[in-house]
Amino acid sequence: MDEQRSAGPRRDRDAEGRARSARPRDGLGRPLPYGAPGVERQPEGVRRTGPETVAEAQRLLDAGMPFHAHEVFEDAWKSGPAAERELWRGLAQLAVGLTHAARGNTTGGARLLLRGAERITPYQGPYGIDVPGLARWARELAGGLTGPVDAGAEAPQLTGGPADRAPGPGR
């Protein structure tokens, strides 16, 4: 058995020795064949301020890359103040819910969108985050999923109120 393991393909590892696929990824985080051009991955473990996290995640959402925005929120969730962890975790769930919806996984996407909306609802809009607007966006998108969506067109605005929000397709 050990001989078979050592004879098999070696797993890609990061600098700390953790298993990490070196395969390139597309804008929705799906693996591509080795050698194919892919989208630059988000570096992990980056410490950002709340406003920096929101700005970087919004840039990625606007570019149609919610999987990458999820990674930015995940960094904040793991390294931010304990009192904000559930906010960042909920925002990460919204981003990965949009990722699943864009990949055509409407059931998983809807579940994550609803779970994320529920998780962020207790917060009172730190860093200008429009919590009520995001929760409404997530619930509306989850309720209307029938097939893959365009991640860029359906990307939410994280800050501002309804007057700042440009309507997108399906809204």
pLDDT at residue 59, as a whole number: 96
> What integer is the mean pLDDT of 1-26?
58
Confidence of residue 12 (pLDDT cuts 50, 70, 90): low
Residue 82 one-letter amino acid: A
**Selected residue with higher pLDDT from 7 and 53:** 53
Residue 19, pLDDT > 60, answer: no
Among 62, 81, 55, 60, CA closest to 71: 60
> How is 121-141 classified by DSSP, letter by letter?
TTS--GGGB-HHHHHHHHHHH
Q: Residue 166: its pLDDT value, please? A: 36
pTM of the predicted model as reported, rounded to 2 decimal places: 0.78
The string of pLDDT tens digits covering residues 106-151 is 999 999 999 999 999 999 989 999 999 999 999 999 999 999 999 9
pLDDT tens, 60-101? 999 999 999 999 999 999 988 999 999 999 999 999 999 999
Contact indicator for 60, 66 with CB cutoff of 8 Å? yes
Amino acid 11: pLDDT: 58
Q: How many CB atoms lie within 10 A of CB 82?
A: 6
Average pLDDT, the chain: 84
- Spatial separation of the C-alpha atoms in residues 130 and 136, rounded to whole Å: 10
- Quick one: average pLDDT of 5-21? 55
The domain defined by 50-152 carries CATH number 1.10.3450.10: yes
pLDDT at 32 over 70: no
